[in-house]
């Protein structure tokens, strides 16, 4: 069976896919590719942060989490790098451990595309709010004050 590339057929398939949370391809995927690529880095940051906080909440080392999930340690640690793409199996194992839908984590990890703008906005909000707020050291505080003073004088 030869796959069809008829534009009418592609448009019909895109319309069917349009209301789905996850997009798997077709015309809608091509049309949305540029718009979606901007959010990929943000959602991957949220995914990395989610895995990190979950690990810490359960008081596990990376090695313990790797063993518990039965996934490769290097792959699990690689999730912290927003340019790294984990395997679907690893993402699914993390989802099962967390008790969340795998489809949502597949989107966060960059392995699937969200059809929901609110999903990306919430991922961005989570990534921004979940960063630790640490008090500046004396040296950092002094350096900041001096630099701000310099900027104000110019």
Domain membership flag for residue 136: no
Answer whether residue 140 is part of any domain.
no
Residue 34 token pair: 């540029």
Across 83-101, b (16+ Cβ under 10 Å) vs e yields eebbeeebbbbbbebbeee
CA distance 103 to 58: 23
Domain count for the chain, please give it: 1
Classified as helix, coil or strand, 114 is strand
- How does pLDDT run along the chain (154 residues), one tens digit per residue? 455 556 667 667 666 766 665 555 554 444 444 344 444 677 888 899 999 999 999 999 999 999 999 999 999 999 988 778 899 999 999 999 999 999 999 999 989 887 788 888 898 888 888 877 788 889 988 988 888 888 888 6
Specify if 2 maps to a domain.
no
Is residue 17 included in any domain, yes or no?
Answer: yes
pTM: 0.65
Instruction: Let me know if residue 60 belongs to a domain.
Output: yes
Q: Which domain does 93 fall in, by range? A: 11-131
């Amino acid at each position: 069976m030869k796959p069809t590339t008829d534009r009418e057929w592609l448009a019909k398939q895109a319309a069917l896919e349009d209301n789905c949370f996850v997009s798997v391809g077709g015309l809608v995927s091509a049309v949305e590719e540029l718009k979606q690529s901007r959010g990929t880095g943000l959602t991957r940051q949220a995914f990395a942060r989610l895995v990190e906080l979950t690990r810490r909440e359960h008081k596990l080392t990376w090695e313990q989490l790797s063993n518990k999930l039965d996934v490769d340690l290097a792959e699990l640690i690689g999730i912290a790098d927003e340019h790294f793409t984990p395997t679907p199996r690893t993402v699914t194992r993390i989802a099962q451990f967390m008790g969340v839908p795998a489809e949502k984590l597949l989107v966060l990890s960059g392995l699937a595309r969200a059809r929901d703008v609110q999903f990306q906005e919430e991922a961005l909000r989570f990534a921004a709010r979940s960063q630790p707020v640490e008090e500046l050291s004396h040296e950092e505080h002094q350096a900041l004050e001096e630099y701000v003073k310099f900027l104000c004088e110019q």
